[in-house]
Structure 1
Amino acid sequence: MAEFIKLYEKGTDMRKIEQIVSCLRDGGVIIYPTDTVYGMGCDIHNARAVERICQIKGIKPNKNNFSFICNDLSHISDYAKVSTAAFKLMKRVLPGAFTFVLDGNNRVPKVLSQSKKTVGVRIPDNVIPRIIVQELGNPIITTSIHDDDDVLDYPTDPELIFEKFQNLVDIVIDGGYGKNIPSTIVDATNDDFDIIRQGGGYLD
């Protein structure tokens, strides 16, 4: 059964963070808060854990459409090609409720890049996932958790999320109620910056 760990953005408990990071290093799968909806993730470099998330979500690994969370802009350039205009835009709006689609480079793990050349990258405006990534030293996968409810697309109550996923993942982080609006997806593979999906972030 998964562990249920309460974490708050203010005064983040580093002992709990280390417990979560240790779980990720061991190939664990976690559920965590972002600035939008709750996400499910693992260490980007652990192929077995990525495949496990695919099983939980019922998708084929080569059909995945995962994004990953970085803790700062310099981290993004380790895995993706970023134009000067894209860098300026991301610097202006991140951390924030955006997923930027960029051309990936050869550091992107094959399990994420075998069916496409682009990657989705997030720096959420929530210190919890960012500090996990910082302490881990690698990005973590982010894929939204969907609800079976006809009214809500995404579950927002961490206790209900735990009830549903307690036998499927290793840790569920309670970071308070989540939102029901996903991130805004921006195509930044060229400098037109087309919005693929309008979500919680707005480009002024």
Structure 2
Amino acid sequence: MDTVLLSDNETDLLRAAEFIKNGEIVGIPTETVYGLGADASNEAAVRKVFEAKGRPADNPLIVHLADFSQAVEYTENIPELAYRLAERFCPGPLTMVLPKNDRIPMITSGGLDTVGIRVPSHHVMHRIIELCGRPIAAPSANTSGYPSPTSAEHVMRDMNGRISAVVDGGSSEFGVESTVISIEDENTVRILRPGCVTEEMLGEICSKVIIDHAILHELEAGQKAASPGMKYKHYSPRADIVMVEGKLDSFISYVGDHNGDGVYSLIFDNDRDIFPYRYMTYGENSSQQAHLLFQRLRELDDIGAEKVYVRAPRPEGVGLAVYNRLIRAAGFEVIRI
């Protein structure tokens, strides 16, 4: 069965909503990356998501709602801080991990008693949620472990024949997945996965923001992942990715010492005038790097790159999200020079 490519007109969005209501899977644009949308309350549909992605069953899915007020239907004991955060960041690229109720099956939550709740701001995803009247589980619409998709073309390349449809809603605005947080107490949140809602932005609402150890380090053996993107190697192209931290002249020297056939570099835009080896650029600031990162990793595969040395961003602000994706794409291999 070939996957149907739909547009973002109302007729096609109704068709996408019908697929989801009938337990099928649809690739849907969001402001972060494209997601594989399924009825989060339908165990059989959620199993299809895991099968299409080849995703481990203990990797939890995020549930998308049309409005944060709907969270009471699927979660319990919502803290007051969650409402303050929702007022500031919903709709938008923030996911809050909350205690779930029985309407969300354990397969959706990866076997956890909690579930990530998000209200997307992309008009297509928002409208499909409204039309189907269901909570939508939507992990990134890629083969598990591969760079996340930021266009309908990426989804079609990864998922054609595995899912019912893909809705083309243009390129993703942010380019990396949502920030995922847990609420520790009425004034404290813990960032489980960084995104474009940054530590500094969260600090405007609550007095303490904790950066979880797993953002920059591997989980210990047997430790459960509270958020997608914490446990397994992720976001990795076929090429071997190596993160390199250091000043530009040191980076150039290191790449020169390790250059060869199939070797490319991923560098900042303002490095290119003096960089003498094969390269792609991925932006001049953290927001641009977040927007372009997954696209560039896929393009490097397309041109046959075998090894890619990446000039590491500073792990602060949105740069923390970029660094987090890269360190996982690199399997935690970082060269510090």
TM-score (norm 1): 0.87
Shift of the 89–5 alpha-carbon distance from structure 1 to 2, 3 Å rule, reads same
CA deviations 1:84-124 (Å, max 9, x no partner) are: 12111112111111111111122222432472101001111
Q: 1:154, 1:95 → 2: CA distance?
A: 21
Q: 1:84 aligns with which of 80, 91, 113?
A: 80
1:75 aligns with 2:70: yes
Residues 47-106 of structure 1, C-alpha deviation per residue, up to 9 Å, x if partnerless?
Answer: 111111111222344x13101100001111111131112111112111111111111122
Q: What is the deviation of 1:157? A: 2.8
Structure 2 residue aligned with 1:160: 154
Determine if the alignment matches structure 1 residue 24 to structure 2 residue 25: no
Q: Tell me if the contact between 1:102 and 1:118 (Cα under 8 Å) persists in the aligned partners.
A: yes
Letter in 1 for 2:103: R
Aligned-residue RMSD, C-alpha: 2.1
Stretches (4+) displaced over 4 A: 146-150
Moved more, 176-185 or 28-37: 176-185
Question: What is the total number of aligned residue pairs between the two structures?
Answer: 196
Alignment gaps of 5+ in structure 2: 205-337
The answer on whether the counterparts of 1:101 and 1:189 sit within 8 Å (CA) in structure 2 is no
Identity %: 27
What aligned pairs does 1:44-83 form with structure 2 within 5 A after superposition?
A: 44-61=40-57, 63-81=58-76, 82-83=78-79
Amino acid at match of 1:74: S
Letter in 2 for 1:86: A
Give secondary structure in 2 for the equivalent of 1:80: coil
2:175 to 180, 198, 204: 180
Shift of 1:2: 1.0
Question: Residue in 2 aligned with 1:10?
Answer: none
By relative contact order (CA 8 Å, sep 6+), the higher-ranking structure is 1
Pick the structure with greater CA Rg: 2
Supply the distance in 2 between the matched residues of 1:94 and 1:86 (Cα, whole angstroms): 10
- Could you tell me whether the CA contact under 8 Å between 1:103 and 1:189 is conserved in 2? no
Structure 1: distance between partners of 2:87 and 2:72: 12
Q: Which runs of 5+ in 1 are unaligned?
A: 8-12
Alignment of 1:1-204 (within 5 A): 1-7=2-8, 13-61=9-57, 63-81=58-76, 82-113=78-109, 115-146=111-142, 153-178=147-172, 179-188=174-183, 190-191=185-186, 192-202=188-198, 203=202, 204=204
